[in-house]
Amino acid sequence: MDEHSPEVITAIRATLMAADLCQSVRKDLAGGESILKEDRSPVTIADFGSQAIICKLIKEKFPDDVVVAEEDSTELRNPGRSNILKQVTQYVKNLIPEVSPEKVCAWIDYSSHVLPRRFWTLDPIDGTKGFLRGDQYAVALALIEGGIVTFGLMACPNLYRVKDQPHMDKGCLFLAIRGKGSFQMDLKGGGKEPLSVSKTAAPSEALFTESVEPDHADHLFHQRLAQKLNIEKPSLRMDSQAKYGIVARGEATLYLRVPSRSERDYKENIWDHAAGSIIAEEAGGRVTDTVGNPLDFSSGVKMEKNHGILVTNGILHEVVLEALKI
């Protein structure tokens, strides 16, 4: 597979359209941040719209491929949610004119949770809480073949492209093909540049990133681990798989995800890590769970064989795994 492969071309087109839809939903709510806090419907609309578009485009080009995506249309088909379905259809119509409410539901339901040898994973909006807060979120799509992620794509509409200019040039598209490297582009699919992880070899100089939501990771444990490793910088909290992107481009050295105290046995979803993991790995990073096992993309939608996630620049992986033991 290379950048000219139909998988890559189709996935880029689909992901950029989905990101466009997500941005439109947010733009229409400009100044509406306080409404967003009480009303989750914008994220519901964007979530369903994003999944409908991506499933439709993938299935059109690859009718035999399975898409393992987060949503199904049960909620949308509920007569009490007809207003939401109407809005999803309208947003999709701006990008795919021939859509209808019935088609929206049918496209969403192309998703299956049965895993064949080759399938796509899709998180139509990863980081819904970030989307609601006006922070980071990602549209994350990946291709898995024989348990290995072979291609990953991630659109982060709210992520700055240039490190020290956080308010300029927002919107990143991360792309990685197994064996071919990891790249960042803009949200028009242009400005492609190769990514590489940081060269930091001293744990004390590392910057680590973690979830914003305390329910998604054990912040206190991360802080203790950081102290043990003599990490001096405070953590960078960020929603969604954008965390993998900032490790891939060398901005953060580590991404820690130790399960929270409230849900110690939490099993991660494959669509929350497939795209991000290949983007970090192809940039020279290493991704395992918190005990050093490779990520399990073939047991089911849940990563049953893993406990938490550790992403590093590679150089620091063993040191952090060792520190995680106690």
Which residues are tagged catalytic?
Answer: 47, 128
Q: Which does 150 bind (CB under 5 to 8 A by kind): ligand AMP, Mg ion, none?
A: none
Return the closest-CA partner of residue 141 out of 18, 268, 294.
18
Cβ-count burial of 294 within 10 angstroms (0-12 exposed, 13-18 middle, 19+ buried)? middle
* Phi/psi-derived region of residue 240, left when phi > 0, alpha when psi is between -120 and 50, beta in every other case: left
At which residue do the structure tokens 């969604």 appear? 240
Question: Per CB under 6 A, does 121 bind ligand AMP?
Answer: no
Segment near ligand AMP (CB under 6 A), from 124-132, 155-163, 245-253, 295-303?
Answer: 124-132
Would you say 306 and 295 are in contact if contact means Cβ atoms under 8 Å apart?
A: yes
Q: Which does residue 160 touch among Mg ion, ligand AMP, none (CB within 5 to 8 A, set by kind)?
A: none
SS3 at position 278: helix
- Taking residues 167 to 206 in sequence order and writing x for each that binds ligand AMP by CB under 6 A, - otherwise, the string is ----------------------------------------
State in angstroms the smallest separation of the CB of 260 from ligand AMP. Answer: 6
Task: Pick the binder of ligand AMP from 102, 215, 304, 318 (CB under 6 A).
Answer: 215
Could you tell me the strand order of the sheet in which 193-194 lies? 66-69, 118-126, 138-145, 148-160, 170-177, 181-185, 193-194
CA gap 174, 164 in Å, rounded: 18
Distance of closest approach, residue 192 Cβ to ligand AMP, in angstroms: 26
Q: Which amino acid type is present at position 192?
A: K
Residue 7 interacting partner from Mg ion, ligand AMP, none (CB closer than 5 to 8 Å by kind)? none
- 71 lies in the binding site for Mg ion (CB under 5 A): no
Q: Which stretch binds ligand AMP (CB under 6 A): 39-47, 57-65, 166-174, 257-265?
A: 257-265
Q: Does 272 bind ligand AMP (CB under 6 A)?
A: yes
Token digits for 254?
A: 């580590």
Residue placing its CB nearer to ligand AMP in the complex, 47 or 109: 47
Nearest to 203 by CA among 185, 226, 180: 226
Please give the C-alpha separations between residue 207 and each of 150, 210, 253, 308, 311, in angstroms, as whole numbers. 28, 10, 5, 19, 12
268 lies in the binding site for Mg ion (CB under 5 A): no
8 versus 271: smaller Cβ distance to ligand AMP = 271
**CB-nearer residue toward ligand AMP: 130 or 250:** 130
Residues that bind ligand AMP (CB under 6 A): 126-127, 130, 211, 213, 215-216, 239-240, 259-260, 263, 266, 269, 272
